[in-house]
Amino acid sequence: MDYLRRSARVSKLDRIRNVEIRAKMDATQTIVDRVEQRGLKWFGHLLRMEHLRWPYRIYSWSPPGKRKRERPRRSWNDAIRRTMKDRNLEEEDVLDRNRWRLGVGMRR
């Protein structure tokens, strides 16, 4: 938003909302949307790769032992699953690349 504010020549002292600045600059996608989109793109790539490759092996590995006794941290996998649920995507959709691209938002 700092970049968009400077490009629009709007100061924070002007008290103009971010939504209005995005509309003025035709920036429809927020940074959160972009991060979610890139994460889903990587997740699809990860699930389609061979199971002997290191990235997939690290993804499917779970550390031995117990976790600490506090509130569990939100993992990358949890965030991806939540994003998939918001966009009505299933793990099986990864194999259909066109469906996956449409769900992720990468239209071609």
96-105 pLDDT, tens digit each: 999 999 988 8
Q: Give the pLDDT of residue 108.
A: 43
Q: Positive or negative CA dihedral for 77, 79, 82, 84?
A: negative
- Provide the 10 A C-beta neighbour count for residue 36: 20
Rounded distance, CA 93 to CA 91, Å? 5
C-beta pairs of 81-85 under 8 Å, 24+ apart in sequence: 83/36, 83/39, 83/40, 84/40, 84/43
Q: Give the pLDDT of residue 67.
A: 80
Q: Give the pLDDT of residue 71.
A: 83
Domain parsing of the chain, residue ranges: 30-104
The pLDDT confidence band at residue 106, using thresholds 50, 70 and 90, is low
24-77 pLDDT, tens digit each: 888 888 888 889 999 999 999 999 999 999 999 999 888 888 888 888 888 899
